[in-house]
Amino acid sequence: TIRLGFPHQPTAMAYDPIQKLLAIGTKTGGLRILGRPGVNVHSRHTFAADPPGPGPGGTTATTEQGNGQGNSSSTNGPAVLFIQFVVNEGLVITATSDDTLHLWSLKQKRPEIIHSLKFTKE
């Protein structure tokens, strides 16, 4: 699968004017971060029961980085409903349809979830 251009079924967007990054969340749990030439990162939220195993907070993050090409996972994750950059901190917050908030670190080459908080409905 080749990923070029705007992600399919976008559900949320955020822009960081300091770092000049655009984050786009999708209905299938994808998180795409675009910026200056060479900055094109695709990560994915997956449900806790999905392989390869739970990360922090029971959520797995799969990351593909580079020119937008790579194999797509057939596993869909929860839809991304909200994205917010934490300005000057190298962090992104996402909220997903499974009632979970995720804190992503952008301080390394591959974004990773460093903390997740699952809410329960009453």
Query: Which is it for the CA torsion 70, 76, 82, 88, positive or negative?
Result: negative
Strand partners, 34: 22, 40
Q: Which of 77, 17, 16 is nearest to 42 (CA)?
A: 77
Residue 78 φ then ψ, to 5° = -70, 145
pLDDT in tens, the chain (122 residues): 555 566 788 999 999 999 899 999 999 999 999 998 878 888 888 765 444 434 444 444 544 444 443 334 456 889 999 999 998 899 999 999 999 999 999 998 888 999 999 999 88
Q: What pLDDT is stored for residue 77 in this prediction?
A: 87
Q: What pLDDT is stored for residue 57 in this prediction?
A: 42
